[in-house]
């Protein structure tokens, strides 16, 4: 192998390493921005996507519990309304069919 071939090979290796270094720096910046988006940073009060999804999950569970209670209350109200309505109808039937 001549000196020229060795120098060419060395230049190609150096160029490849420089390209890898630039690529690693770009990926490091991308990873930092992904980390900032997921975890959060000082600019957004450390409230990244992970915090937001957790917060939404807590609020959803709270709403589901409230909805279950509301559904049960509506069922009870329906029964009470039917009972009161039936009682009023029964009273009027009794009142008007009462023999004196």
pTM over 0.85: no
Residue 26 DSSP SS3: helix
User: Judging by beta carbons within 10 Å of its beta carbon (0-12, 13-18, 19+), is residue 39 exposed, middle or buried?
Assistant: middle
Q: What's the CA gap between 64 and 33, in Å, rounded?
A: 34
What's the DSSP call for residue 48? -
Torsion angles phi and psi, residue 85, rounded to 5: -60, -45
Q: Is the pLDDT of residue 99 over 80?
A: no
What's the whole-number mean pLDDT along residues 29-43?
86
Q: Which residues contact 70 (CB under 8 A, 6 or more apart)?
A: none
Question: What's the mean per-residue pLDDT of the chain?
Answer: 90
What digits encode the pLDDT tens for the residues 54-92? 999 999 999 999 999 999 999 999 999 999 999 999 999
- What local confidence, expressed as pLDDT, does residue 55 receive? 94
């Amino acid at each position: 192998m001549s000196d020229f071939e060795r120098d060419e090979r060395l230049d190609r290796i150096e160029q490849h390493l420089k390209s890898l270094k630039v690529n690693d720096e770009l990926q490091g910046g991308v990873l930092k921005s992904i980390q900032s988006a997921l975890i959060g940073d000082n600019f957004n009060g450390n409230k990244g996507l992970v915090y937001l999804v957790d917060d939404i999950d807590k609020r959803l569970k709270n709403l589901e519990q409230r909805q279950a209670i509301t559904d049960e209350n509506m069922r009870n109200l329906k029964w009470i309304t039917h009972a009161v309505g039936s009682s009023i109808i029964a009273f009027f039937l009794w009142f008007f069919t009462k023999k004196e």
